[in-house]
Structure 1
Amino acid sequence: MMESVDVVVVGAGVVGLAVARHLAIEGRSVVVLEREDAVGTQTSSRNSEIIHAGIYYPPGSLKARMCVTGRALLYRYCADNTIAHRRTGKLIVATDRDQLAALDRIADRAHANGVGDLRRIDRDELAELEPEVSGVAALWSPSTGIVDAHGLMRALRRDAEQSGAVVSLRSAVTTGRIRPGHPIELTVADIGEIACRAVVNCAGLGAWALASSLTGFPTAHVPRRHLAKGNYFGLRSGRAPFERLIYPVPVDGGLGVHLTFDLGGAARFGPDVQWVDRPEHLVDPTRADAFYAAIRRYWPGLPDDALQPDFAGIRPKLTGPGEPAADFLVQGPADHGVAGVVNLFGIESPGLTSCFALAAHVAAAIDGDPLR
């Protein structure tokens, strides 16, 4: 007999686990299907682990709303569940006077998004805060921080399972069938078929393939996928002479090669934007020269031969080179007309920060009443 549940969540990254937790706490029966042999092995574990404040995104966009709401929820959850995190704060640095207007635009956008603690500082205060940083002015964001992404995902999985959800690893969805008036049927490798009232596609880089594999789902609603690889480099030895995260003014496709560090204090730089045709996670060592140039704009004291490849991640994007950055795309029945299907496309940064807010948004979208 075919197993039947209320909701199948496909993908056990940070957003998929947050969605499963939210739905299980609501009392729905939930199964999470993850094709890998562990949770969060892709985008969720290959990023800067930043808790974003909500500064950069267009006012009213899903990214802006989910980030600002999600940031408060994430800090609270980390504090309540003893998940390692720290409010480091960050500086967005204008390295020459030509970038001052860009700082003003960033500040205006942040204010429109409800980020009320962003503050402009001058060269002297910047030098006082971070003597090794070279810049003419900066924006100080005290709400930005870092989090142990793996610790967060372990806690989300624990909460989901304690609320009745089942997380099934090595469980790749191969096909699905949608018929009006019937449960959605998914075929899962090595398991068989599962019937569900709703399926939430949180498959990250695989979200496009999953949506296309659902017989009965209109392929016109599957957008084009673009892949942007982000390379990260670390320091070969020693510690970076900074107490705060250091960001440049944003560049096309990303936020620029910034300096962050993990909770142990190890510095890393990235990501850059390298458009690729297929997902692969090896750092491209030929990018090092561009990293030195980018970093030395705000840290001229970076020594020669100080960088070494660290890791790389792939951002699932909805727009390509030279195009304006796209918003998160959360498609529910109200958007595509297919009952019980919610697709999440283009969940890149600030997806980790937004995970709790996105979970609530998805729960509403399942029933055809997405938050607006």
Structure 2
Amino acid sequence: MLACLVRKRMKFSGNLVQTWKLGGVGASARGRRRMSSGAEAVVAKERADCVVIGAGVLGLAVARELSRRGREVLVLDAAASFGAATSSRNSEVVHAGIYYPPNSLKAKFCVRGRELLYRYCSEHGIPHRKMGKLIVATGASEIPKLDLLMHLGTQNGVAGLRMLEGFEAMRMEPRLRCVKALLSPESGILDTHSLMLSLVGEAETGKTTFSYNTTVLGGRVEGNQIHLHVAETRSLESWNGGESLSQMQQLELIPNLVVNSAGLAAQALTKRFHGINHRVIPPSHYARGCYFMLSGSRGPPFDHLVYPIPEEGGLGVHFTVDLTGQVKFGPDVEWIDGVDDISSFLNRFDYVVNPKRAEKFYPEIRKYYPELKDESLEPGYSGIRPKLSGPKQPPADFVIQGGESHGVHGLVNLFGIESPGFTSSLAIAEHIATRFLK
């Protein structure tokens, strides 16, 4: 039985469906589905306590927190390992909580999450550095926007913010050019892989089981409870959108609590939950962000993170550095249209960094780092942001959606968890456990 497997706290990181097929998990019930040939295939039905869909940093944080509170947790992810999508393709920056409207979820969870994150990193030996950040105005027209950020950060309770005149900032960073700057001493960097690995370990030490290469196809509401339709990821590899996904179902899970932390696929998945009011599902938008690495440098040009004034869809092409000293600039914003279900389900996005995009990076970076040399940027990596607002639209807040919105008991949908989602992860997990565990 699945419940028995979890109770024994087995460190299971294989495939749930394949394990059932091989007899490693017994079925508590049997259902049937019609195969394309007309024959009927047996579909196992399993009960579970808590199911977390998605093993990104947020899913891992939620699983850890639920497990800490004594719950049995099953984490399902379509990829072969944790953190395969957005969580491994970001700036690795710990945000302070400056950019977001007061009382918004982004402001609340970023500030609280930063505190929890630094504490966690210190207690668990996760490499990190609170190096501080300078948000810079490179022209007089940007100063009012910098003043607004100072106001927002102060309203959000970010400690230590200080406005600097240009000469003060350039005294701190001699290679910087700006007319004014906002100093955020609470900002920093961390090793994202080490953090996620630690969260996995803590979750497994508790009552969490991981099943990779396992895709949640959709589900249905039955008796005000969500039933999840599950299949091996490899069974979808040849899917072209023509055949119904429901025909590929190999397992049915009946959990007490489901946390949909599917990130890029969260909305597409929720639309496949039959019996839910789909009008409450927010629209999904996708923005690719590319990073370029600095080559031929003997060391980072700055001791602080350096950010320009935010742009539409992002925080601007900024300077950051990882804990090995590798300098990177990015991300930019490239809106992506026409994303289909299979791309979001199986993370089949185009992550290739076109070297020609560097042509747009040079002038943006030279606004605050004029010494940047020609031909010094090399393609790095890219990530996709799961956004709730599109081009020319104001930024949207996080959406944490429970039964009061969609009417289904025990289902929590997490939508639009982009930046500062990584910084906010432990705080969001804390909130979910406190609000939805009964």
Question: 1:58-207 maps to which residues of 2 (within 5 A)?
Answer: 58-181=101-224, 183-190=225-232, 192-207=251-266
Tell me which residue corresponds to 1:33: 76
Given candidates 316, 320, 337, the residue that maps to 2:390 is 320
Whether contact under 8 Å (1:342, 1:365) holds in the other structure is no
Percent sequence identity over aligned pairs: 49
Q: Deviations over 1:247-295 (max 9, x none)?
A: 0011111110000011011100001111012332111323211100100
Given candidates 228, 234, 247, the residue that maps to 2:293 is 234
- Cα distance in 2 between the residues matched to 1:219 and 1:367: 24
Whether contact under 8 Å (2:226, 2:408) holds in the other structure is no
Please, which runs of 5 or more residues in structure 2 have no aligned partner?
Answer: 1-27, 29-44, 233-249, 340-348
Whether contact under 8 Å (1:332, 1:365) holds in the other structure is no
Tell me which residue corresponds to 1:256: 316
- Cα distance in 1 between the residues matched to 2:284 and 2:145: 29
Instruction: Look up the equivalent residue of 2:315 and give its one-letter code.
Output: L
- Cα distance in 1 between the residues matched to 2:281 and 2:145: 34
- Secondary structure in 2 matching 1:208: helix
Whether contact under 8 Å (1:333, 1:366) holds in the other structure is no
Q: Deviations over 1:96-153 (max 9, x none)?
A: 1221111111100000000121101112221211100001110111100001111110
- Secondary structure in 2 matching 1:361: helix
Whether contact under 8 Å (1:280, 1:314) holds in the other structure is no
- CA deviation after TM superposition for structure 1 residue 228, in Å: 0.7
Tell me which residue corresponds to 2:375: 305
Q: Deviations over 1:324-355 (max 9, x none)?
A: 00000110112222111110010000000000
Instruction: Look up the equivalent residue of 1:255 and give its one-letter code.
Output: L
The structure that has the greater radius of gyration is: 2
Instruction: Look up the equivalent residue of 1:35 and give its one-letter code.
Output: A
Tell me which residue corresponds to 2:239: none
- Cα distance in 2 between the residues matched to 1:329 and 1:353: 16
- Secondary structure in 1 matching 2:97: coil
Would you say 1:292 and 2:362 are equivalent positions?
yes
- CA deviation after TM superposition for structure 1 residue 180, in Å: 2.2
Tell me which residue corresponds to 2:280: 221
Tell me which residue corresponds to 2:328: 268
- Secondary structure in 2 matching 1:230: strand
- Secondary structure in 1 matching 2:421: coil
- Cα distance in 1 between the residues matched to 2:51 and 2:135: 40
- CA deviation after TM superposition for structure 1 residue 367, in Å: 4.8
> What's the TM-score once normalised by structure 1's chain length?
0.96
Larger displacement relative to structure 2 (39-48 or 215-224): 215-224
Q: Deviations over 1:179-199 (max 9, x none)?
A: 125x43212214622210111
Would you say 1:358 and 2:418 are equivalent positions?
no
Whether contact under 8 Å (2:218, 2:270) holds in the other structure is no
Tell me which residue corresponds to 2:267: 208
Instruction: Look up the equivalent residue of 2:423 and give its one-letter code.
Output: T
Whether contact under 8 Å (2:276, 2:407) holds in the other structure is no
Give the 4+ runs in structure 1 shifted more than 6 A. none
Please, which runs of 5 or more residues in structure 1 have no aligned partner?
Answer: none
Tell me which residue corresponds to 1:11: 54
Q: Deviations over 1:144-181 (max 9, x none)?
A: 00011111101111111111110111111113121125
- Cα distance in 2 between the residues matched to 1:221 and 1:363: 22
- CA deviation after TM superposition for structure 1 residue 365, in Å: 4.0
- Cα distance in 2 between the residues matched to 1:56 and 1:284: 29
Question: 1:48-63 maps to which residues of 2 (within 5 A)?
Answer: 48-63=91-106
- Cα distance in 2 between the residues matched to 1:105 and 1:300: 26
Tell me the C-alpha RMSD between the 2 structures. 1.3
Larger displacement relative to structure 2 (65-74 or 234-243): 234-243
Whether contact under 8 Å (2:260, 2:266) holds in the other structure is yes
Instruction: Look up the equivalent residue of 2:216 and give its one-letter code.
Output: V
Given candidates 412, 416, 427, the residue that maps to 1:342 is 412
- Secondary structure in 2 matching 1:143: coil
- CA deviation after TM superposition for structure 1 residue 26, in Å: 0.8
Whether contact under 8 Å (1:258, 1:269) holds in the other structure is yes
Larger displacement relative to structure 2 (280-289 or 17-26): 280-289
Larger displacement relative to structure 2 (243-252 or 279-288): 279-288
- Cα distance in 1 between the residues matched to 2:145 and 2:252: 53
- Cα distance in 1 between the residues matched to 2:418 and 2:226: 27
- Cα distance in 1 between the residues matched to 2:262 and 2:84: 12
Tell me which residue corresponds to 2:25: none
- Cα distance in 2 between the residues matched to 1:106 and 1:290: 25
Larger displacement relative to structure 2 (118-127 or 225-234): 118-127
> What's the TM-score once normalised by structure 2's chain length?
0.82
